[in-house]
Each structure stands twice: as structure tokens, then as C-alpha cells.
Amino acid sequence: MAIYVDGEVCQIIEFQHVKPGKGGAFVRTKLKRLKTGTTIEKTFRAGEKVEDCYMEHKNYQYLYRQGKELILMDLETYEQIPIEESALGDSAKFLKEEMEVQALVADGKTLGYEVPNFVELEVTETDPGFKGDTVSGSNKPATTETGAAVQVPFHIKIGDVIRVDTRTSTYMERVKK
């Protein structure tokens, strides 16, 4: 659910209805500003009106990179649209061709884009593991097929397919050798 607060679209993260012993009830909320991503806390008194904002998720398919722009295709109209790579932030480095990207649209305006939380990528470059490198918790750098750098355990080799969390840029598990 999203509402307009001070002219900005905010998504409700959590809320708590409070009825004190004396005085009127109120609702304490934690809101996320969708344009900037910042989190704010706001209290609404009983009877205070807020304007609803209707949001929808629109599916796009990533086609290719053209300089600093990413070319996406609308899966309903097959229209190709260019967007700035910065609109996806750090998660842009995990995009593979034909991967689905979701756009968050409110009142006809695109507020942001989301890539899947987990992606499977092939390791194209990493140092070889040596026998005896079994210290738990230690990692080595690896480069994936999309050019993203990820810290992986020593047993990962070139050609292995790994699952990566795009939100934190961390290695999750080896999918296949």
C-alpha cells in the first residue's frame, strides 16, 4: 500500500495503531519514499485523511546494454525503452540477457526498477583453489559472466555456476559445476 505524504509517493513499511488512556487514538507509521529510497517515521491522528496511491508492477525483459543505457522490452506491448543504468543502481551489474525486470509504476510514472533477488551466474575468472585452502569463512574474488565481482569460497572454480543475492552482492551457493 502506498500513500501521498507531502506530495511524494511513500510505501507503508509498517504501522501501529495506538489508543492511549487519555486523548485520541493515532497511528505510528514507518514509510519509505519511493523516489529517494529514504525511510521516514510519521504519526497520523485519528480522523486525519491521506490520499491513496495506486501502484502496479510492470514486467520488462532486459535485452542489451548500449553505452550507459539499458534497453528493456515491455512484455505486453513489445515496445523497447532505454533507461539509464543508474536507475537500477548496483543491481544493474547482475543483468543477463532475457532476464525479467519489474518496474514500480504509480499514477503513470515509473518510480523504480527491481531485478530478481537471486540470479545464477557463471564464474568466468577467479584464482585457482589450492589444496589445503579449507579455512572456513575465507573467500577469494571472482568475476561473473556479467562482469560483476563477488567474493566466493576457495572451492569455486572457473565455469562453476553460482547463485548471487543481488540486494547484497553476496555469494549464496554453488548451483552446478
Q: What is the pLDDT along the chain (177 residues), one digit of tens a residue?
A: 788 888 888 888 899 999 988 888 999 999 988 777 788 999 999 888 988 888 888 999 999 998 889 999 999 999 999 999 888 888 888 999 999 999 888 877 888 888 898 999 999 998 886 655 555 667 889 999 998 999 998 888 899 999 999 888 899 999 876
What pLDDT score does 151 carry? 92
What pLDDT score does 73 carry? 94
d(CA 153, CA 130): 12
| pTM, full prediction | 0.69
Contact in structure between 175 and 162 (CB atoms under 8 Å)? yes
Q: Spell out where the chain has E strands.
A: 2-5, 8-18, 26-33, 39-45, 51-53, 55-66, 69-74, 80-84, 100-106, 109-114, 118-126, 139-144, 149-153, 161-165, 170-176
What pLDDT score does 86 carry? 84
- Please report the domains of the chain, with CATH numbers, ordered by start residue: 2-53 (2.30.30.30), 55-114 (2.40.50.140), 118-176 (2.40.50.140)
What pLDDT score does 79 carry? 93
Phi, psi of 46 (to 5 degrees): -60, 135
- CA 4 and chain centroid, separation: 22
What pLDDT score does 3 carry? 87
